[in-house]
Structure 1
Amino acid sequence: MRCPLLYRFRVIDKLPEKPSAAATRGTVVHAVLERLFDAPAAERTSPRARAMVPGEWDRLLAAKPELAELFQEEDGAPAPDRLAEWLTGAQTLVDQWFSLEDPTRLEPAERELFVETELESGLRLRGIIDRIDIAPTGDVRIVDYKTGKAPAPQYAARPCSR
């Protein structure tokens, strides 16, 4: 985040924010990619993943009914065309992921792994790793699913920015 005040509001003060359609789409796509690895390797296909999108949206909506507001008109009436377009956008993101990885050739060592450490300064760092892959050579790859926009070119070349 570029704005120190926004950082404070979101991270330190944890002020509630209305969810955005983009962030919610990311949550749905993330859930699809996570659950895709529940299937046998040969069944981890793009059509299957695309078909999972509406179900993951329904699951998220059941847990957070307030998300329905994202796809309503100003008068509160449902906006099914807006929802359909949004679901298509989520399916497009899933399709794009298949151009980066072939999940039929992966068997993750870990998924959704909680990690935590405390630095000498006492600062505690914690997070969740989306996926850890271990290659036959023993190489380890840590995967973090991203659905937002790519970093600006001046940051993209720096390994720390990803």
Structure 2
Amino acid sequence: MSQMGFDFGGQQPRRLTKVTPSKLATFEDCPRRYRMAYVDRPTPQRTGAWAHSTLGAVVHNALRALYDLPAQRRTPARAAALVVEQWQDAGFADAEQAQRYRERAKGWVTDYVERHDLVTEPIGVERWVSAPASSQGLDGPPSMIIEGRADRIDQREGELVIVDYKTGRWVPESRDARSAQALALYAVAARRTLRMPCRQVELHHLPSGTVAAAEHTEESLRRQLKRAEESAADLRQAADTLSEGGDAEELFPVRTGRHCSWCDFRPSCPAGQQAAPAAQAWDLLAP
């Protein structure tokens, strides 16, 4: 006699792979990099800090800290002060360059607070969302668990909006917001987690003041989920085969290109070193 809840008709329940947008993007860019970041232990040698990553983290942390304050204290001046409090110099060429970008970052967040409504409370800031999902839609059997941390989730006119802050050289457009897999997956996970519609996604580029927005349809979300499913299945198979004694180089092949110049694992990848010259730690800063 079977126990209630454990009768699978002679079949084992399907094992769901947990994936984040970062893991999926890393695997698609270069399977070897994925292996070094998430599979190999101990973790291979990495590069030092990158100035653009430091700058992005400072701005994100300052805006998060701003939302921790009461609404009436979310002023441009306080936002600028929080940049100073959160500041790190890691990855910059020298103290002069670090100071110059600290001042720029203060200006970015000051302008951002002046232009945007930060009084209305968001649904979440740096909110972790996690939910089973499938490209077959809400009613389909789940094929994976998508999860991650959204910069901000707003509620506008009864619907959720995913907001992602950007501080890099590239100025996004609406098509970039629509094609961003991370934003689409956050929208699906937020919809399931918070039980509210979520179609709107936005990239907020602080250096330029650009807001690149897009509205997803069920079909566009399904396409992103299908792409994620395929990558999740490939990385799961590669990891499982490796654990059974498979060849790491064959299962996680290197995929070289311009990105090898600023790959975190460049010191541990001879193929990447040959494929492209090393970037300086500050080369990807917004001009």
TM normalised by structure 2 equals 0.42
| Structure 2 unaligned blocks of 5 or more | 1-24, 38-43, 134-140, 181-202, 204-287
Matched, 1:7 2:37: no
TM normalised by structure 1 equals 0.70
1:83 to 91, 94, 98: 98
Q: CA deviation at 1:84?
A: 0.9
2:48 to 6, 15, 18: 18
Cα gap change, 1:134 to 1:3, in 2 (>3 Å): closer
1:138 to 145, 155, 158: 158
Cα gap change, 1:10 to 1:117, in 2 (>3 Å): farther
Q: Which moved more, 1:115-124 or 1:137-146?
A: 115-124
Matched, 1:27 2:57: yes
| Structure 1 unaligned blocks of 5 or more | 62-66, 73-78
Q: CA deviation at 1:154?
A: 9.1
Q: Distance in 2 between matches of 1:138 and 1:108?
A: 12
Q: Distance in 1 between matches of 2:54 and 2:142?
A: 35
Q: Distance in 2 between matches of 1:5 and 1:125?
A: 16
Higher gyration radius (CA): 2
Q: Whose RCO is larger (CA < 8 A, sep 6+)?
A: 2
1:110 to 119, 124, 139: 124
Q: CA deviation at 1:24?
A: 0.7
Cα gap change, 1:141 to 1:92, in 2 (>3 Å): same
Q: Distance in 2 between matches of 1:46 and 1:36?
A: 10
Q: Distance in 2 between matches of 1:81 and 1:89?
A: 13
Is the Cα–Cα contact under 8 Å of residues 26 and 34 in structure 2 kept in the other structure?
no
Q: Distance in 1 between matches of 2:147 and 2:55?
A: 24
Query: Pairwise CA RMSD of aligned residues?
Result: 3.1
- SS, match of residue 166 in structure 2: coil
Q: CA deviation at 1:147?
A: 1.7
1:36-95 Cα shifts (integer Å, max 9, x gaps): 0111212111111011111111xxx5xxxxx64x246xxxxxx33222112112213213
- SS, match of residue 126 in structure 1: strand
- SS, match of residue 25 in structure 1: helix
Is the Cα–Cα contact under 8 Å of residues 151 and 164 in structure 2 kept in the other structure?
yes
State the match for 2:179 in structure 1: 160
Q: Which moved more, 1:24-33 or 1:124-133?
A: 124-133
- SS, match of residue 108 in structure 1: coil
Q: Mapping of 1:51-130 within 5 angstroms? A: 51-57=81-87, 61=88, 68=90, 70-71=91-92, 79-98=94-113, 100-104=115-119, 106-119=120-133, 120=141, 122-130=143-151
